[in-house]
Structure formats: C-alpha cells, structure tokens
Amino acid sequence: MPDASNSSAPRQLDVAIVGGGLAGLYAIHRLRGIGLKVRAYEAGSGIGGTWFWNRYPGARCDVESLEYSYSFSEELQQDWKWPERYGTQPEILKYINHVADRFDLRRDVQLDTRIKSAVFDDKANRWTLKTEAGEEIQARYVVMAAGNLSTPRVPDFKGIQSFKGKWYHTGLWPHEGVDFTGKRVGVIGTGSSGVQMIPIIAQQARQLTVFQRTANFSLPARNGPMGEEKERRHKAEYAARRAAAMETPFAIGGHPKPTQKTLDVPEAERLETYEAKWAEGGSISYLYSYTDLLVSKEANDTASEFVRNKIRSMVKDPKTAELLAPKDHPIGTKRLCLDTNYYETYNRPNVTLVGVRSDPIQEITPTGVKLASGATYEFDALVFATGFDAMTGALKEIDVRTTAGAVLRDHWEGGPLTYLGLMVSGFPNMFVVTGPGSPGVKTQMIASIEQHVDWIADAIDHLGKHQLDRIEPTPKAEMDWVHHVNQVADSTLYPLANSWYMGANIPGKPRVFMPYVGGFDRYKKQCDAVAAKGYEGFSLSRHDAAAARS
C-alpha cells in the first residue's frame, strides 16, 4: 500500500530493505529481533521474489524441499509438510506466505513499490531511497535483497514488437497461466527454465519448436511424493542436518563427501557410480561423485561423457540426440539442470529442436521467427526462456550513489567489486545479500541468505553496542577479495563455460566470474573470522550529526 508519508516528511527507518523475497523477509524478522525499525520495499504485488514471478509451467526448485527451506525456526521446519521431494513454485510460494503470516512480517512489507534510487548522504550518514512513485525513505542502513535472477532479459531481437501472436518471458509469467492447447509454440532458450517447461508445453501444444543455442546438461530429478519415513527421519535430525550442511561447499547436507579422485577409480567402478547417481536423481549427488570433477577437465570428461551417452540412448533421432548432447562446456560449469522427461520429449512427433548456434535467430517476424539462413517458423505463441541479467542486474537498475561522488554503476563498470559479497567500498552502511562475490547462487540459497543476514545483523548490532554508526570495506580488502574470488574460480573449470556466472549471456557485460566458488563452508568460516577480528578489512567509525557539523 502506498505510504501515507508520501506528501509529508520521509519515513525514517533504521534499516530499509530492498526486496520482499526469501532474503528480504528473513531480514525483516532477524533485524526486528535486535530491536531495529525496518521496512521492506517490494516491486511485486505479492511477496516471494523469484517464486512470485517465475510461474511458468513446471517451475520447481532443483534443491530438495527438506533442504530448501528456512532453518531459523525449529517449530517451522517441524510443522511444514512438503508434499514432494522438490517443491513446485505454487508450493514454495504458499510456504513463503505462511512464513510471512506466522512471523507477522507483512506489516513491514510495502508491495507495488519499486526503488529507483538510493543516495548516501556522507554528512548526514543516512541513505535516502526514492520509489518510482516519488516517495522518500530515509534509513541508517540499507539491505539490498533484490535477488540474483530478478531482472528478466528478452534478447534485443529485431522485430519483436511486430509479432502478432502472444509472447511471454518465463520470469514474468501471467498469474492466470497460459493455455497452449492446440497452439503452435516456439520456445527460445534451454536453461533450467526451458528444460522444466518444455516437457509440459509439449503435452499441450499442437506443435512445439525449441530454439537451442547451447545444449545444457540435465539430470533426472526423480521427483515424487515425499516419503513419510524419509520425512520423519529427516525431521528427527533436522538441527544436526542443518549444521552438517554448513560444513559443505553447497550448503546441502545428506551427501557423503567424496574421497577419491576420478581417474584413481577403475572405469567400470566409475560407471557404476555414475549409474547409481543417475538412478538416484539430483545434481549435487552427481557432482559429488569424486573430489576433482569441477577442477580437472580429464576427470570431468568422464562424467560429461556418461551423460552424453544417456542422452544418446534416450533420444531416438541420432541427429537430435547429438544436438542435445553438450560438448562445449564441462558438466557442472553452467547451472546443471534437473528435469522430468526433458530429453524424452524430443521423441514426440509434435516437438522439433532447432540449433541456433550456427544459424542464429535474426529477427522476430509478425508470424514467427526468422533465422540468419532465411529459414522461417510460424507460431501462435513465443516463449522466451532466455534468462536474466544475473547477479548485478537488479542493483544496477537502481541508481545507487553517494554525495561523496561514488556511483555504483561506475564502480562496477569493469565487473562487480565487493568485499565478501556483503559490502562495496565507497558505499557505507549498504549491505548486499547473496550478491556477486558471495557463494549464494552456488549453494542452497536459503542457507546463504540466513548466513548473510545473520552476519549483517551481528555487524549492525556490533556497531550499536560500540557507539559506532558507519561501516564500509577498505578498498584494499575489496580488491583482495575480488582477486581471491577470481583466483579460486581460475583454479576450477567454471571459467570454461559461457554462463550467466560470467555475465556471458548479456552482450557487452564484462566477462568476470561473479560467484565465489571456494565453497559455502570456507566462506562462512572466513566471514566468522572477519567478525571475530573486529571486522577486519572494514573501517568502522562514528559519524553522527554532531560529528559531521564539527
């Protein structure tokens, strides 16, 4: 609801939170808990972030429900019943709404409110945020919880506005749903969203044509109803399981740590392992087969080739199978997809795969799609599963600056710079949740969200207790962290893929590896150590109004 203070003085807060998704909601709860006056601003007409917007058919989490949920309340995690191994979008959104009600979070969420600018007044030591509607909010601290995959991107195709049929983006899906029955449908993009959606659209559409630029690796999800015994056992050990997850690189428990190098294991045994993991379903388990799958190309080749052979055995038409078998990046270096009947879908007579790597989409015409070769395809509906301006898109959309002259878009011109992924030098009292330089997107996101927000709450509490009111990273700490993030990435196979981790999906975006891939466990220890050493690498100071005047 628009704020009544619109025409009067700006609302005064301790902490303004940008975003009402899983991160923003937990930030309200946690920061309120230390006595702060907080409010979250959410562009959507409902809470839930990613899970509010991404309503495409088949949208589902690729981390198991018992892991992909908040851990901060034992009662909550005991009470909530997940009906399936992997949560669907509607189920996760229901859960998020339950959490908001249960912890009385809604009263501090302002919906339908997009933050357009955030300016830090160096003298007053306060942030002023402005909404699209012109409302002003002032706060001592800002928490950017605006999401990593929240800026949907439709490629700049010529002629898109001329298309006479309906077109959709997976990340802006109509709330009333879309019925493709009897329609000729074109889907552009085969990342996680495309891979989840394609088997479902294929069942409705008269004809489905999929335009694939890069073949992606996908493993079977093996989704199914939640087993009662599995749920009972998990819940009996929930606290210990959550603690164990903190000691893993992906913040996901339940998978024994690999102990062997891939090529130290005889081939027959290796294939047996991959086969067992394929049968079990899920991506973490597969990537956790051996210690070196994400650092040795030779090792990775064995796991990649196993999946390519599975694709060849599932897809009847050998040409289609070869087109679907990824050969240009090692498995796991782009987001590994999980699917239900993805590859099998290409055996349906109403589904066609078109490779657009060698023959790119040239334009969208009034009736469909035209490729560079001149080939044309006619559609009643087009679906863009073309992803997001990942990790930096949401923050770059906000005009973030300071009266001392720092401008976030400029500071990040050559790629995002952060210290621990949590703060940016030159932008005091602004925290970022699971942004670039953090392991967030490479982990069970909710675990990273809780860890980041807890760290932020502790930092603000620490300042208050020491009569301090300003924190920002030193430029040196920021540079050292960025260097470390890059060094760690360079010691892995990740940079070999043209992924959104690298900004490679956006023409002109700097090619910098953005997530920290040293592991959640290592990252958390580093954050804890920094705090224990009195916030090493940050400068903490007191800049109250009296001090500023003098």
Judged by beta carbon, residue 188 or residue 447, the one nearer ligand NA7 is: 188
Binding residues for ligand NA7, per CB under 6 A? 149, 155, 170, 188-194, 211, 213-214, 335, 356, 361, 385-387, 500, 505
Instruction: Kindly state the smallest distance separating residue 193's Cβ from ligand NA7, in Å.
Output: 3
Judged by beta carbon, residue 29 or residue 334, the one nearer ligand NA7 is: 334
Instruction: Kindly state the smallest distance separating residue 491's Cβ from ligand NA7, in Å.
Output: 22
Instruction: Kindly state the smallest distance separating residue 294's Cβ from ligand NA7, in Å.
Output: 16
Extract the tokens encoding 318: 């050998």
Q: How far apart are CA 273 and CA 287, in angstroms?
A: 11
Question: 3-class DSSP state for residue 384?
Answer: strand
Instruction: Kindly state the smallest distance separating residue 461's Cβ from ligand NA7, in Å.
Output: 32
Cβ atoms 473, 537 nearer than 8 A: yes
Cα distances from 420 to residues 146, 327, 457, 523, in angstroms, run: 17, 33, 15, 8
- Which uninterrupted H or E stretch holds 63? strand 60-64
Judged by beta carbon, residue 89 or residue 190, the one nearer ligand NA7 is: 190
Q: Report which residue's Cβ sits closest to ligand NA7.
A: 191
533 exposure class (CB count in 10 Å sphere: 0-12, 13-18, 19+): exposed
122 exposure class (CB count in 10 Å sphere: 0-12, 13-18, 19+): middle
Cβ atoms 49, 93 nearer than 8 A: no
Instruction: Kindly state the smallest distance separating residue 10's Cβ from ligand NA7, in Å.
Output: 35
Judged by beta carbon, residue 464 or residue 510, the one nearer ligand NA7 is: 510
Q: How far apart are CA 390 and CA 230, in angstroms?
A: 35
Instruction: Kindly state the smallest distance separating residue 515's Cβ from ligand NA7, in Å.
Output: 11
Q: How many CB atoms lie within 10 A of CB 249?
A: 20
Judged by beta carbon, residue 262 or residue 283, the one nearer ligand NA7 is: 283
**Which long-range CB contacts under 8 A does 189-192 form with residues at least 24 apart?**
189/213, 189/384, 189/385, 189/386, 189/387, 190/214, 190/215, 190/216, 190/385, 191/216, 191/334, 191/335, 191/337, 191/385, 191/387, 192/62, 192/335, 192/337, 192/338
Judged by beta carbon, residue 376 or residue 403, the one nearer ligand NA7 is: 376
Sign of CA dihedral 533, 537, 538, 540: positive
Judged by beta carbon, residue 97 or residue 150, the one nearer ligand NA7 is: 150
Give me the residues paired with residue 184 across strands: 207
Judged by beta carbon, residue 192 or residue 300, the one nearer ligand NA7 is: 192
Instruction: Kindly state the smallest distance separating residue 149's Cβ from ligand NA7, in Å.
Output: 5
- The residues, any chain, with a CB within 8 Å of residue 347's CB and separated by 6 or more, are 314, 315, 316, 317
Instruction: Kindly state the smallest distance separating residue 379's Cβ from ligand NA7, in Å.
Output: 15
Q: How far apart are CA 396 and CA 410, in angstroms?
A: 10
Extract the tokens encoding 217: 């690796």
Judged by beta carbon, residue 86 or residue 141, the one nearer ligand NA7 is: 86
Q: How far apart are CA 450 and CA 81, in angstroms?
A: 21
Instruction: Kindly state the smallest distance separating residue 283's Cβ from ligand NA7, in Å.
Output: 11
Extract the tokens encoding 509: 């975006």
Instruction: Kindly state the smallest distance separating residue 400's Cβ from ligand NA7, in Å.
Output: 24
Judged by beta carbon, residue 213 or residue 310, the one nearer ligand NA7 is: 213
